[in-house]
Amino acid sequence: MQTLKQALCEIEYFLLDMDGTVYLGDKLIGDMPKTLDALRSRGKKIIYLTNNSSKSKERYYEKLSRMDLLRDGDEVYSSGMATAEYLSANYPENSVYLLGTRALGKEFKERGIRLVDGRADISVLAYDTELTYEKLCKFTSNVMKGSRYIATHPDVNCPAEDVFVPDAGALIELVYASTGVRPELIIGKPYPFMGENLMKRFSLPPEKFVMVGDRLNTDIKFGRNCNFHTLLVLSGESALTDVERLSPSDKPEFILDSLNDVVDYL
């Protein structure tokens, strides 16, 4: 088994979860800008990889810039962006009903996806922080009428200050209770679609990537499903006791208290 120091010699891309990994809410985890600059100085590329499909790419860039976490060459890749890529590549002529935010709708339109407000060929369920009952009813009606059903990601809750709020996974269960139908495809972590896209885009094998995150059931499982290196940080949701309960095949390859500790292995 490789040591972290050995793995870092072959890794080219750091896929970083955000909340719980590089910041908590609006607070940086340690001197994260300095840590990421150290990685960049060693030639490592940074991709912020998130399941949150409620925000636009521009919104993420604004927050990362404000927190001094964004440099030239860094990228943001969300489950919403990946879903838009999937639809434009595979169903360019189909109509789409989106249960999602206006920001995500803008991302879809920019990729040429034809959004409609009624009957559609494909229904996409995302993390909709602008949800209304009318939108929900239109979505379930489409599903019951045979529309293809895709979800951006499976997270049941989204971390918020002092609470957890219902995320796309909770809406998936609500739609199932109403229709008896589950998505035929889920794009985001832990499913491998986003990782497969990145490997194709950069023409690189899986060992050139490391998935870094604080959630075992999404971040680490995603990395394992893609055969990427995996690095669990204990600065967010997961604790060592959670890791101990996992089977060997589900455990992260490496564990650090914080991503800041990675500089000791460069």
**Domain with 176 in it: what CATH number?**
3.40.50.1000
Query: What would the pLDDT profile of 214-259 be if each residue is shown by its tens digit?
Result: 999 999 999 999 999 999 999 988 888 999 999 988 999 999 999 9
Res 169: pLDDT: 96
Query: What would the pLDDT profile of 33-84 be if each residue is shown by its tens digit?
Result: 999 999 999 999 999 999 999 998 999 999 999 999 999 999 999 999 999 9
The domain tally of the chain equals 2
Is residue 24 exposed (0-12), middle (13-18) or buried (19+ Cβ within 10 Å)? Answer: middle
Q: Are residues 176 and 99 in the same domain?
A: yes
Mean pLDDT for the stretch of residues 108-123: 96
**Contact yes or no for 183/172 (Cβ under 8 A):** yes
Q: What confidence tier does 160 reach under pLDDT thresholds 50, 70, 90?
A: low
In the predicted model, what is the mean pLDDT of the chain? Answer: 95
The amino acid present at 92, given as its one-letter code, is P
Task: Report yes or no on 203 lying in a domain.
Answer: yes
Mean pLDDT for the stretch of residues 191-196: 96
**Contact yes or no for 68/96 (Cβ under 8 A):** no
Give Cα 8 to chain centroid, integer Å.
22
Final residue of a structural domain among 184, 216, 245: 184
Say whether pLDDT at 161 is over 70: no
Give the other-Cβ count within 10 Å of 213's Cβ.
30
